[in-house]
Amino acid sequence: MADPESPSSTPWWQVVLVGRNPRTTLLRLVVTAVLVYFGFRASVQPIVVSGVSMLPTYRDGRRLFVNKLAFRLSPPKRGDVVAIREAGNHLFLLKRIIALPGERIRIRAGQVFIDDGTLEEPYLRPPAPGVRNPAAWEVQELELGPDEFYVIGDNRSMRREDHYFGRVNRERVVGRLINP
């Protein structure tokens, strides 16, 4: 009579599905699931775009992911689309970094100037006919501190008063958007 613990008595389909020892396999599965869950939560933040400030780049209602580990080895760069912590861990703003720490920034007639140069923004689209002209956007020159970034949305055709933009401290930058 065959020993129930011997490898030859285990049906091949059980070995393929759950291994020779189902308890050990289940324990490994639980440990792996817990590690994946907490690893994902520590490195990725899901967000839903709410509003039109990043149009046409990202539309309202779109689900996206933010890489929370993106700035561990290198600092944020100009042009990065980042999530900014607004209130606790549940409300984030999605904005583009256009100026870096220590730079001077101003906006004249809708054109962004960094230090004394013009910022090229290929991600912006010209306003459609009949849409408010972004030329109304004016921001006086200011100099950013050593831990500050200047952020703004891509939709410059909306009223300046309805648009959140400006200085952001480094500690509020959660991570870089993972491009879909």
Q: Which domain holds residue 34?
A: 7-41
2 within domain boundaries: no
Residue 147, domain CATH:
2.10.109
Q: Tell me the pLDDT band of 1, cut-offs 50, 70 and 90.
A: very low
Domain total in the chain: 2
Query: Do 80 and 113 sit in the same domain of this protein?
Result: yes
Mean pLDDT of the chain: 85
**118 in any annotated domain:** yes
Is the pLDDT at 125 greater than 50, yes or no? Answer: yes
Specify the higher pLDDT residue, 115 or 7: 115
Q: Is the peptide bond before 56 cis (omega within 30 degrees of 0)?
A: yes
Which comes out higher in pLDDT, residue 31 or 135?
31
User: Quick one: what percent of the chain has pLDDT higher than 70?
Assistant: 88
Residue 66: per-residue pLDDT = 94
Q: Are residue 34 and residue 72 in the same domain, yes or no?
A: no
- Identify the pLDDT of residue 70: 92
Q: Do 102 and 136 reside in the same domain of the chain?
A: yes
Kindly tell me if the per-residue pLDDT of 90 is higher than 50.
Answer: yes
Q: Between residues 19 and 55, which one has the greater pLDDT?
A: 55
Following CA atoms 64, 44, 40, 71 in sequence, which dihedral angle do they give, to the nearest 10 degrees?
150
Identify whether residues 61 and 84 lie together within a single domain.
yes
Encode pLDDT of 138-178 as tens digits: 899 999 999 999 999 998 887 778 888 999 999 999 999 99
Is there a single domain that holds both residue 87 and residue 115? Answer: yes
- Give yes or no: residues 33 and 53 share one domain: no
In a domain, 11, yes or no: yes
Paired with 142 in beta bridges are 105
Residue 1: inside a domain: no
The answer to whether 133 and 158 are in contact (CB under 8 A) is no
Cα–Cα distance, 96 to 91 (Å, whole number)? 17
